[in-house]
Chains A and B, each alone.
Chain A
Amino acid sequence: MIQFKKVSKTYKYNFWDKKITALKELTLTIEKGEVFGFLGPNGAGKSTAIKLLMDFIRPSSGMILIDGIDSKEPQARRLLGYLPENPYFYDQLTPKDLLSFGAKASGVKPKDAKKRISYLLKKLELEHVSKRRLRQFSKGMLQRVGLALSLVHDPQVVVLDEPMSGLDPLGRTLVSKLILELKERGKTVFFSSHILSDIERLCDRIAIIHKGELRFLGYIKNVISKYNEQEQDISLPPKETTSYKRILSPVEKLFIEVINQ
């Protein structure tokens, strides 16, 4: 469904600055219908990869295909629903205005759009605030509105950049349920998160990226069977002076191991 083919991205913030490589030849395929977790520490290149996928920025080399269509083509985004890491919206609008725009812009018929909007508002518990202006919303509420916007046209692929950030435990449960529902309906979900327990619970496959390079790609069930019930002495990166001995979840163990390599 999504193919990254040797995608690299280098930035140069100023003319006199050195080039910074944010992504190095990322090659990755996300299959149709799978929930794919994209992991990595801060600044690893996760958001860069997602922005390249959405065509907000352009690759320095390589290409990205979405269901066989080049990601640079606007029609490729007809298949995508996207939630940004920090969703900012036109804050004078109401959730209804925003969702109505999302549906119209994606070519949803007005009749279907109305049904879909009321379904999503109910599903994400936003019905009671549907006519309130977005500037009055908390971060968690905006995150829910963003989720509703990403799903309003019932896309084939849902790209979520840190969907759990800013959500309370109830909100997180709601999003988790939503992701599982999408999976049941055969949708492809590509999401990045720092919350490893969520990744473990929801994903079929994960990729770990560090310093712009893909360091691990594999099925979550294999990770769990490899690391489960192992009690390891995990030493945190050398900069840390203290060593911790504790039981970590399989994905946490894998994550630390991969990053320390």
Chain B
Amino acid sequence: MLYRILSLQNITFKEGIKDKSILAIFFIAILTFIAIIIFPNLFARDIGKVCIDVALSSITLLGLILIFFTCSSILSKDVDKKTIYIVLARPFSRAEYIIGKYLGFLSLEVFVITIISVLSTVGVFICYHYNIHYFPKHFSFYEYLLAILMIIEMLAILIALLLFFSSLTTQGFTATILTLASYIIGSSLNDVLDTISNSSDSIKINKGIIYVINLVKYIFPNLSLFDFKLEVAHGVKISSQNITTAFLYGIIYILLLISLSCLLYKRKEFP
């Protein structure tokens, strides 16, 4: 079983890494590397903050491009052009297909993000070396790397969401749109919840809206939990409790989505 899953993971990774969009991602990564070194110098005393923010934001952005272009196009081919037939014609169970595909996308994401992270870390290091006085006092590369790991976990949730939505829809494009919508909702969920809880009596929010938002809170992933850009850029120590909570939340959410996708794929037909 493991051998089969790994064979699927392997071709998914190969198909992804040879895709043209990967070249574009690496090209943007090089531009970002240059930007990390040059751009922050325009911001006088905020060089450190801008440098870290640009580096972490570009890693997130390129990870999202990878999911919404490369991974979703591979998945669309499976569903729309029926490349899935070459997999399902082998002794794969539907659950093995989901796990193999997920591991393929995940390994692709980890590989690409690692390369981009190395580039951006070198950029931040050069910037840090020449502008050490303009960096936050308690800035640490360890916490910078922790923030990257949390970005990877956030992207891993999005991949699981993409697979989950592909099990609900008959078109790859719809699955991509739903994943994108979930990303937008998941990233802004915390801000909306904060606004509701801090709203004064003069601004009355409809009870129905509060009910819907509370429901959404339990359905969509709270992706802002994985965003530590602000802490790292301001040299604020990331609490280990926050990291552990986000990590466990992410793992549980992924396992839940993968299990649901396996169940739904078991019933899915590919006419």
A interface residues with partner B (beta carbon < 8 Å): 11, 48, 51, 54-58, 74-78, 80-82, 84, 86-90, 92-93, 97-98, 101-102, 104-107, 133, 149-150
Q: How many angstroms from the CA of A92 to the CA of B83 in the assembled complex?
A: 12
Q: How many angstroms from the CA of A148 to the CA of B43 in the assembled complex?
A: 60
- A105's partner among B81, B92, B269 (CB-CB below 8 A) is B92
Report how many residues on chain B are interfacial, defined by Cβ distance under 8 Å. 29
Residues of B within 8 Å of A105, CB to CB, are: 4, 7-8, 87, 90-92
Given contacts A56-B271, A57-B269, contact A90 B91 (CB under 8 A): no
B interface residues with partner A (beta carbon < 8 Å): 3-4, 6-8, 10-11, 14-15, 18-19, 74, 77, 81-83, 85-93, 96, 269-271
- Of the listed residues A78, A82, A150, the one surrounded by the most CB atoms of chain B closer than 10 A to its CB is A82
- B88's partner among A55, A97, A106 (CB-CB below 8 A) is A55
Closest to B7 in A: A104
Residues of B within 8 Å of A11, CB to CB, are: 271
Q: How many angstroms from the CA of A96 to the CA of B2 in the assembled complex?
A: 21
Majority secondary structure, A binding face: mixed
- A54's partner among B14, B15, B88 (CB-CB below 8 A) is B88
- B89's partner among A54, A58, A88 (CB-CB below 8 A) is A54
Contact B269 A89 (CB under 8 A): no
- B11's partner among A77, A84, A93 (CB-CB below 8 A) is A93
Residues of A within 8 Å of B83, CB to CB, are: 88-90
CB distance from B78 to the nearest CB of A (A): 9
Residues of B within 8 Å of A92, CB to CB, are: 14-15, 18-19
Q: How many angstroms from the CA of A52 to the CA of B74 in the assembled complex?
A: 25
Q: How many angstroms from the CA of A74 to the CA of B89 in the assembled complex?
A: 9
CB distance from B271 to the nearest CB of A (A): 5
Closest to A102 in B: B90
Contact B270 A77 (CB under 8 A): no
Residues of A within 8 Å of B10, CB to CB, are: 101, 104
CB distance from A163 to the nearest CB of B (A): 14
CB distance from A159 to the nearest CB of B (A): 8
Question: Assuming A77-B90, A84-B89, A105-B8, what are 6 further A-B pairs, CB within 8 angstroms?
Answer: A56-B88, A56-B271, A74-B96, A87-B86, A89-B86, A97-B11
- Which 9 A-B pairs have CB atoms at the shortest separation, nearest pair first? A92-B18, A104-B7, A82-B89, A105-B90, A90-B15, A88-B81, A57-B269, A74-B91, A56-B270
Contact A104 B19 (CB under 8 A): no
